[in-house]
Amino acid sequence: MSIVPNSSASDQQLLSRVDRFFKEQRIGSLLKKSNFVKDCGWTCLALFKFLFLLVFSKKNLYQALQKKDALDLPGKDAVYRFLNSSRYNWRKFLLLLSSGLIRNKLDPLTGKDRVKVLIVDDSLYSRARSKAVELLAKVHDHTTGKFVRGFRLLTLGWSDGNTFVPLCFSLLSSHDPKNRLVEMFEGLDKRTTGYKRRRESMQKSSDVLIELLRQALDSGIQASYVLFDSWFSFPSTIMKVLEQKIHVICMLKGMPRVYYGYNGQKWNLNALYKAVRKKRGKAKILASIIVTLGCNEQGEEIPAKIVFVRDRNRRRNWLALLTTDVHLPDEEVIRIYGKRWDIEIFFKMTKSYLRLAKEFQGRSYDMMFAHTSIVFARYILLAVESRESQDPRTLGELFSLCCDEMEDIKFASALLLLIELFKSAVREVLVLTEEKFQELFDQFLSSLPNYIKGLLGVSVCES
C-alpha cells in the first residue's frame, strides 16, 4: 500500500527512508502500547502510515482516494473512524516516539557537556471559518493582537541546540466559558483518553504547561533548563516549574503588577532596571542582579538572576532574561536562551509545509488532536533526516575519530537573535518578523536532503 508513486528515484528513496524510520522506531509496537487496537479491517499501523505519507503525495485525502489504483487503499470511513477514535492515546505515542529517538539516536551524537533544553511555546491553531467545531473558542492571536476562532497549540519540545524534537502538546480551547463558542460533545465515555483530553483543553495554560512538563520528565527525557517567552514568565509559574526539579530561563515583560524582591523591597521590572547600576560604554550586557520570586511551601525564598541586555536601536533600549540558576554566567544565559528559536522554526515548518490545521476539516476534537500528532511525527522524521545529512558521524564510527561535534549555538548568535526578537516587539508583544522567520526557516530547509525538498515543493539549487 502506497499513495506515493514509485515513478522516480526520489519517490523510491522517500518510501525507503520512511520504511526504515518505521522499523527503527518500532512504530507498530509504539501504537500497540498506546492502545491503538482494531478488531478487524485495516490495521492501525497501515492507516497511520497512509496518513503519514499523505503530505508527500501532494494530494488531500479525497484526491488520494480518487486515483485509479486506489483499490489497495483504505476507505474514507476507515480513515475517519481511525481519526475520530477517543480511545487512542496519541500523547503517549508521541512521547514514546520522541523519547526513544532522543535516547537511542540523538544522545549518542551529542557531547555530554552540551546543554539540552526543553522549550515551551504556544501558536495559533486557526479554524477561522468554522462554526460547529467541538470546543471552538475565541483565542488571542499574538501576531495581529485580535481574537480569532480556533485553539492555542501549546507545545513542549526538546533541543540540543541543533535538532528540535516535539515531545507533546495540548490543543487549548478556553478556560473562560464566555470565550468558548462550542461546548464539548455530550455522550462521551468519561473513562476514555478523549474525554481527559477535552477536560484538559479547558484548563489554564499554566496548569497544562506543568502537566506536559511532568509527563515528559517522567518519560525519561533529560534536560537542564526549560525555556519559554514572556507569556508564561510569571513568578508563580516559574516556581511550579522548579518543583519539577528543573531550572528555568525565560524572557521577562515589564508588567506593572508583577513584582520581584530586591534589597528587602518589592520592585516591578521597569523599576528594577532604573534602580540597578548599569555598565558604562557600549557593553552588550548592561547589568545582572539577584532577586527573589517568592517563597516555596517550606517558607524558603526562591532566588533568581535577571540579566539586562542592551539594544541600541530602540528607544527602550533593553530587554531582560531571568534564570533560576543563579550561578550561570550572564553570557551563558543569553546563549542558552537562543535555543528557544528552534520551536519557532518548528511552527513555521508544520504550518507551511506539513499542512497543520489544513489537511482535514473535521469537527471533532479527537480528529484535530490525531491530525496534529501525525504532523508532529512527520516533523520528527524530517528532523532525523536533517541531522543525519549534516552530521558525518552518523555515517560510521570512523568519522567520530576525526570530526568535531556539531556546532552549538554561540553567544554572539544568540545575542543577535535576542536583539532581532526585541526589534519585532509591537506594543510589548513579542512577534517575529516575516523576514526573520524566513531567514531561520530557509536555513533549516537547506539542511534537508534533496529528495525531501523536492517532495515538499522546495526548489533545489545545484551547488
Classify the phi-psi angles of 110: left when phi > 0, otherwise alpha if psi is within -120 to 50, otherwise beta: beta
Mean pLDDT of 152-176: 96
Give dist(CA 208, CA 197) in Å, integer.
11
Chain centroid, CA 348 distance in Å: 11
What b/e readout covers 278-287, taking b as 16+ CB neighbours within 10 angstroms?
eeeeeebbbb
Classify residue 230 by its DSSP letter. G
Classify residue 313 by its DSSP letter. T
Detail the DSSP E strand segments found in 55-185: 117-126, 137-140, 147-159, 164-172
**207 Cβ contact list (under 8 Å, min separation 6):** none
* Beta pairing partners, 169: 155
By three-state DSSP, how is residue 412 classified? helix
Mean pLDDT of 288-301: 92
Do residues 182 and 133 touch, judged by C-beta distance below 8 A? yes
Mean pLDDT in the chain? Answer: 86
Pick from 104-113, 197-206, 221-230, 416-425: least confident: 416-425
By three-state DSSP, how is residue 46 classified? helix
Could you give the angle at which helices 90-101 and 193-201 cross, rounded to 10 degrees? 90
Q: How confident is the model at residue 9 (pLDDT cuts 50, 70, 90)?
A: confident
Do residues 161 and 387 touch, judged by C-beta distance below 8 A? no
Q: Residue 97: CA atoms inside 13 Å, Cβ hemisphere, count?
A: 30
The alpha carbon torsion through 330, 255, 125, 433 (nearest 10 deg) reads: -60
Q: What is the pLDDT of residues 260-271, one digit of tens each?
A: 999 999 999 999
Give dist(CA 445, CA 10) in Å, integer.
17
By three-state DSSP, how is residue 448 classified? coil
Give dist(CA 211, CA 195) in Å, integer.
16
Q: What is the pLDDT of residues 327-349, one digit of tens each?
A: 999 999 999 999 999 999 999 99
Mean pLDDT of 143-171: 94
Could you give the angle at which helices 434-446 and 341-352 cross, rounded to 10 degrees? 80
